[in-house]
Chains A and B, each alone.
Chain A
Amino acid sequence: MPMLNSQPVRSSLQVAPLAIQKTRGNGSSVADSPDPYSQSQITPPATPNGSQEDLYTQAQEHLQMETDMANEPPVFHNFLRAFYPFQPENVVTDSTVTLPLNEGDVVLVHSIHTNGWADGTLLINGARGWLPTNYCEAYDPEEMRSLLKALLNFWDMMRATCGNDSEMFGNQEFMKGIIAGVRYLLERTHCLTRESPLVQQHDGLRRNRKSLLSELSCLVKTAKRLHDAQRLTNVGEVNEVVDEMILRAFRIVTKGVRFLDVLEDERRPLVPTIAATTAAEDNHVPPTPPAESSSFVAGYGPAADAASRAEDDGETAERAQYAASDVARSLTPAENRLSSVYTQNTNARRLSQAGPLQVHRPSSTLSHRLSIAGSSHLAHSQNLVSEKLNACHDTFLSHLGSFIGRLHLQSQSRPSLARAVKQSATSGGQLLVVVDVVCTHNSALIDVLEQSRAAMYDRIQELVHTARDILANPRSDMEEDVIIPQDNGRLLGAATGCVKATGECVAKTKWVIEKIGDFEFESDNGSLGVNFDLSALALVREEKDSRYCPSESASIAGSTVSETPTASTAISVTSSTAVPHVALSIDKPLPDVPQVTSPITEHPVSHPLPSGSRPQSLPMRDRASSVVQTASCSRSDLPPLPRISTASLPMDTYSPLEPSSTNGSDFRSFRSEVMTASSSGSGSTYLSRDSESSILSQTSTRATTPDSTQAPRNQPSFSDLSTAETASHAEEVDDVESRLIEKTFAHELVFNKEGQVTGGSLPALVERLTTHESTPDAMFVSTFYLTFRLFCTPTALTQALVERFDYVGESSSIAAPVRLRTYNVFKGWLESHWREETDREALDLIKEFAEVKLAAILPSAAKRLLDLAEKVSVTDGALVPRFVSSMGKSSATGTHYIPADTPLPAPAMTRSQTNALTAWKAGGSSPSILDFDPLEIARQLTIKQMSLFCSILPEELLGSKWTKLNGAGAPNVKAMSAFTTGLSNLVADTILQYDEVKKRALVIKHWIKIASQCSSLHNYDALMAITCALTDTSIKRLKMTWDTVSAKRKEMLKSLQSTVDFNQNYKALRARLHDRVPPCLPFLGMFLTDLTFVDVGNPATKTSDTGLVVINFDKHTRTAKSIGELQRFQIPYRLTEVADLQEWLSTQIDRVREKDKAGANTQASHYRKSLLLEPREMQQLRTAIEPPTPAATGSGMFAWMRSNSATSTTTQGGLSAPI
């Protein structure tokens, strides 16, 4: 790549063709100045490379690096910085706004058009409009990263809330980010305090720092005003303040940028600054050198590209080829810079800033920043690919959903089935198209999508096939019009397969979109789509034998092309017309359609800029035509070097669909008087960020004339700002400075889209825990208390808290509340969450803290803390018991489910049963399980199990403790699972003890009844234990016995079993537990599995946006959630305990468990016993003859039991008995 530079620069050759001339007719209608160039002679952009030729060598070095990074996936840059001034002749037309750029201006980018124009907002004044990206470079210096990120969040939040969300404003979260960002900047530059040597030495630095802080103080003040306005619920006022805040935030960033520039100057005075010589501005400070780390994807082979064009356009081929290769060879420093900003398209290399997405991006017109706020419901545009993806996914799912729902109605009519499948397949096809668009959009990440896309395609096809098979083969014995249930099963399977595969595919696609930036996508609904051959569904049953070729067809063209096996991801496009098509040729490189063009200076205003390529928003749509365009463009290139000062921007309606451009007057201002943020007219229909802009438009006065350039006052230049109004509020600056110097770790927190903390460093989490602005989130606090031992030691926590107590002292305004909170955290810990065995190590530290630091400030609190510290070491258990499940639904409220005055149900015990138990206790013979009412057995089991369940402590469930050291750390979990297993064994044992088939059947029936009662009591743990035992191989295989059990009972067992079926991740049980109010005893094992996988499936740490490795708090939140859910059920039943029966049950279970302890494998011995009772051969013979009853066994369970207790192991007892 560096060798490309060896050729002398001929800037004229580097100009990329502009592929937008075709809408020219459109544009000229609105043009207010004549176009001096013919349509095909579009002037390329004015890139000031001439002036930068002296930087040649420098750039060369860069280039090497960039080449190395050539294969990096493309990145959408959120911020750009102009390195060359740009003055459009006509800033505003009827419909569009083109922004003038001063060198050094920083722009927040909303979207970038393929032609190189970006829709952005100038931070300097909040003006929004189009600007040429080739005048800019990516701006993302490490020091600023935190602040820039904060600004994005700020912007998105402001946009999402629209001033109505008091919750968001309440906690002032958005302010913290900005402040933390500024702090981060100052910290990284070693200028945090006024006294730092750097600040002391350099006057410029000092002034800029002050100016920055003053701006920050303004924002803080404004935020306060917002808070007040909020209370007044004056929407208008609120919106006004919001506007102002956005501007203020912009200015903070601007000043931050300037500050950094000055600093860079100080640091590297010898390095020639790039733009100094050419800067149009007088005393302008040169910008920082281009970011070095920007991604760069090498242009795709220019020759190949040109060649491909040559095929299509013989006339211009030669020329094009020449241009293309020449361009490739003649990289200039300027280009290098550009390419460092974006990945470039080949012939458009120097100009194509538009390639943030990447090289092979022939299709889209715009790439957008994906906002954290997601697609806002306020968004006007529906044509963003992310939105389209979601919409298609939703449609598809709803079709499938209703289809699946209908399948459950057993008799499905054939026509309705066909219709439903057709609907589903069609919507699925549309979804595939969206995925394909993303694929074509970005070749670098295609591999990622390919497989899941293929999987999804296969599944949909599967569904169609299944439906076709069913429709094509009506069962003769069935009513013709009805689908039989068995087929329903197949369809159901196919449909759920679709749902799953689709989910996966969509998730991946979203990930890719996030990576490459959102972009515009337009399709006529239904007019295109990956269509599945639905002809089989066309209710023509005769075509039973018609061969079905798995093909997709473009519906418009109507042609069906069979797919080759390898092209499963490629949709063959057959239509030769200009019908929009999606090409999925993933295997082959995407064509380089040089739509990536540059801003056109001196170009007639009338030229519609993005609109030109808009119809090309579909890949391949008119590949041919664009080739023609580009070819002709490259022929018509070679413009003179731009005359920058007179450069004018082409402006026009964006949308050829709306030539009237009614949006033209839709300019928005943040503050109408002072500054005008003009936004492009098409904003509401075109841009990704327009959801924001539309909010702004609602909230602000509509300025009909966005004369941002006319009023100099409204357009402060970059250099102006630094000196502006710094003196006016020196005091506030001090104020904010003190606030800024407040040590904070806010930038070390990671949030998810719902605003919950998902990660953070320990100091950051502690800061969150002791925040002064608002009451801490209950879920956060309880999660923290419950899980902190998993991510730090008690000592580390104590130290972090003490440190928090200390450093907050530097900021007097918030010190008092924060310190009180810090004390409260200690108090809560000692009172309710202390665990002596692990936390003891921190006790001395806590005492020391209380005696010294706390006592000095809050003497009474210190006394209380010391008190507690004394108590915890001697008290067993929490001083102030508190259900951790305050995090979920409170356990305390759980008791309300059953009022305490509800009369206890009377035990279902007869006198004889009671007597039998009394006799047993006195040493008499033991009653049999058959002697008791199933209801009462179920009740007593439930009481017993619930008491075990309630004793499970949350800490036992952390860190998979119950699986380690043989469950020593989780005694209650162990006891509970041992009981459940014991119950299972008891069931098998009681059945296998009888030699008579009928007796065994009787016991089986009895247990089914007990299980049924457990189910009525919502005791799913016992239900699981009993059904497991009944379906255990050793029981299940007793065919003769089961033949004796009535069909009704077997059916009952089946339905009981289905409620605790572990398939599909306990789907049935989860559904039952979901809304279940206590009392209810869930199956503990399910929670244990969940907790295990939360533990192993989520890493302990994650990396924040700023590259910091922080605690993955999300993992702990999930753990706490699961534990909270378990605790929700830790509420005893209100049932009468029958002590004797309990005792008898326990004895029985213990008896079985004894065998376990004796070392025999209970399962194996049961199996052997089972084999003896009903040997294999006999089963195969299927004789109905009962085996002879061996005399030795005696009769009934007692004899057998006694023999068991006599012989120490079951194995022997079991074996010897029947023989």
Chain B
Amino acid sequence: MPSRYAYQPVREYHVVVLGAGGVGKSCLTAQFVHNEWIESYDPTIEDSYRTQVSVDGRQVVLEILDTAGTDQFVAMRDLFLKSGQGFLLVFSIASRSSFDELATLREEILRIKDDDMIPIVMVGNKADLEDQRAVDRARAFSVSRSWNAPYYESSARTRTNVDEVFIDLCRQLLRREDLLEEQARDDLGQKLDDAAAKKRRRRKRKEKCVIL
């Protein structure tokens, strides 16, 4: 990660879109970053995958990493995952195998990021193909619950829930950062106030607040 991003006051997050081939994840990305005011989409320019969104009144710049096209370069995946701060796990509701693959991907993320709380959003794409559904919605939902990740069904074709999944991820990222900041502040306070138990209680309370 270029160090220059580290100090940016406006939040900038790197989001990685993952999923098996053919689940339409690149469509999802293209739909999201494609400036509809520009008639023709050129993916070769620097800003092609950067976009700014407003989440709850806060401006967030998202740089989206999509492995589309380079899935075969397995060795690169590690690097991709490492650079991501939040992840979209995309499968196609019409493909069972694409759904099953997510578990492996998630494990890989957890291993590489070494972080159980990493923001993840699970996306069942191609929701417009309801008649070909191969993944039960309830099942997908229960899996997402067990991963502590929100679940969306989207359709890049009809542009349903495209922005929503990215914004949800942003929200998680922002919340996480706020939380970390608060904890850092708490920790600082704790140094002054030596009572560890007190601190823990306070932190717990704050956590709840954030979630609310």
B204 at interface by CB-CB < 8 Å: no
The answer to whether A493 touches B52 (Cβ under 8 A) is no
List chain A residues, Cβ under 8 A from B108: 1163
Contacts A/B (CB < 8 Å), 24 sampled: A462-B9, A466-B9, A493-B9, A497-B12, A504-B52, A752-B40, A963-B22, A963-B71, A967-B72, A980-B75, A981-B74, A985-B75, A1029-B75, A1033-B82, A1062-B65, A1062-B76, A1070-B44, A1089-B69, A1089-B70, A1093-B26, A1093-B48, A1098-B40, A1162-B74, A1167-B111
**A772 to B79 CA separation, bound complex (whole angstroms):** 53
Which A residues lie within 8 Å of B73 (CB)? 977, 980-981, 984, 1024, 1028, 1085
Q: How far is the CB of A125 from chain B (nearest CB, A)?
A: 37
Q: Is B211 an interface residue (CB 8 A)?
A: no
Point out the residue from A503, A1070, A1091, A1098 that lies within 8 Å of B47, measured CB to CB. Answer: A503
A458 touches B59 (CB 8 A): yes
Smallest Cβ distance from A515 to chain B, in angstroms?
10
Do the beta carbons of A1118 and B66 come within 8 Å of each other? no
A977 to B74, CA, bound (A): 9
A1056 to B: closest C-beta gap in Å: 14
Q: Which residue of A lies closest to B73 (CB)?
A: A1085
Question: From residue 1138 to 1181 of chain A, which have CB atoms closer than 8 A to chain B?
Answer: 1162-1163, 1167
Contact B44 A1065 (CB under 8 A): yes
Is the Cβ of B69 less than 8 Å from the Cβ of A459? Answer: no
- Cβ contacts A1029-1063/B at 8 Å (1 or 0 each): 10111000000000000000000000000000111
Chain A nearest Cβ from B128, distance in angstroms: 15
Pick the contact of A500: B50, B74, B76, B79 (CB < 8 A): B50
Contact count band on B:
35 or more
With both beta carbons as reference points, the residue of chain A lying nearest to B77 in the complex is identified as A1163
Known: A489-B7, A1089-B69, A1097-B34. A1063 touches B83 (CB 8 A): yes
Given A489-B3, A1032-B79, A1097-B34, also A974-B72 (CB < 8 A)? yes
- By the criterion CB–CB under 8 Å, are A493 and B7 in contact? yes
Q: How far is the CA of A510 from the CA of B39 in the complex (A)?
A: 12
Tell me what chain A mostly uses at the interface: helix, strand, loop, or mixed: helix
- A978 interfacial contact with B, CB 8 Å: yes
Q: Is B141's beta carbon under 8 Å from chain A?
A: no
Tell me, yes or no, whether B1 is within 8 Å of chain A by CB: yes
CB contacts (< 8 Å) of B37 on chain A: these are 507-508, 510-511
A490 part of interface (Cβ distance < 8 Å): yes
Is the Cβ of A1090 less than 8 Å from the Cβ of B44?
yes
A1089 touches B22 (CB 8 A): no
- How many Å lie between the Cα of A1028 and that of B78 in the bound state? 8
Q: Does A377 lie at the interface of the complex (its beta carbon under 8 Å from any beta carbon of B)?
A: no
Interface residues of B in 125-151 (CB under 8 A from A): none
Q: Does B42 make an interface contact (CB < 8 A)?
A: yes
The residue of chain A having its C-beta at the shortest distance from the C-beta of B54 within the complex is: A451
Min CB–CB distance B133 → chain A (angstroms): 22
Residues of chain A with a CB closer than 8 A to B76's CB: 984, 1024, 1028, 1062, 1085
Q: Does A454 contact B (CB under 8 A)?
A: yes
A496 to B, closest residue via Cβ = B4
In the bound complex, do residue B63 and residue A1064 qualify as a contact, i.e. CB atoms below 8 Å apart?
A: yes
Q: Which residues of B contact A1028 (CB under 8 A)?
A: 73, 75-76, 78-79
Chain B residues with a Cβ under 8 A of chain A: 1-10, 12, 21-22, 24, 26-27, 29-30, 34-35, 37-50, 52, 54, 57, 59, 61, 63, 65-66, 68-80, 82-83, 108, 111-112
Q: Which of B42, B54, B75 contacts A1025 (CB 8 A)?
A: B75
On whether A1093 and B41 interact (CB within 8 A), knowing A455-B54, A494-B9, the answer reads: yes
How many angstroms between the C-alpha atoms of A454 and B12 in the bound complex? 17
Nearest chain B residue, comparing its CB with the CB of A1027: B79
Task: Kindly state the interface size class of chain A when it binds its partner.
Answer: 35 or more
Contacting pair A454 B54 (CB below 8 A): yes
Nearest chain B CB to A1034's CB is how many angstroms away?
A: 8
Q: Which residues from chain B contact A487 at a C-beta distance below 8 Å? A: 7
Q: Is A547 an interface residue (CB 8 A)?
A: no
* A501 located at the interface, meaning its Cβ lies under 8 Å from any Cβ of chain B in the complex: yes
CA distance A1093 to B108 in the complex (A): 25
A140 to B35, CA, bound (A): 30
User: Judging by beta carbons under 8 Å apart, are B59 and A459 in contact?
Assistant: yes
How does the 8 Å CB contact mask read for A427-468 relative to B, with 1 for contact and 0 for none? 000000000000000000000000100110011001001100
How many angstroms from the CA of A810 to the CA of B24 in the assembled complex? Answer: 48
Q: Which residues of chain B have C-beta atoms less than 8 A from A565's C-beta?
A: 57
Contacts of B83 in A (CB 8 A): 1063
Contact indicator A1096/B30 (Cβ below 8 Å) = yes
Chain A residue numbers with a CB within 8 Å of B78 are 1028, 1031-1033, 1163
Task: Write out the residue numbers on chain B whose beta carbons fall within 8 Å of the beta carbon of A1090.
Answer: 43-44, 69
How distant is the Cα of A1092 from the Cα of B41 in the complex, in angstroms? 12
Contact A1097 B41 (CB under 8 A): yes
Other A-B pairs, 4, CB within 8 Å; known A978-B72, A1162-B74: A497-B12, A1028-B73, A1033-B78, A1094-B43
Least CB distance, B77 to chain A, in whole angstroms: 8
Known: A497-B10, A758-B40, A1063-B1. A1032 touches B75 (CB 8 A): yes
Complex Cα spacing A687 to B45, Å: 36
Nearest Cβ distance between residue B159 and chain A, in whole angstroms? 12
Residues of B within 8 A of A960 (CB): 69
Most buried by B among A493, A494, A507, A1086: A493
Within the assembled complex, what's the spacing in Å between the Cα atoms of A1118 and B82? 31
Chain A 1063-1106, CB-CB to B under 8 Å as 1, else 0, gives: 11101001000000000000001101111111011100010000
- Complex interface bits, A502-535 against B, C-beta within 8 A gives 1, otherwise 0: 0110011011000000000000000000000000
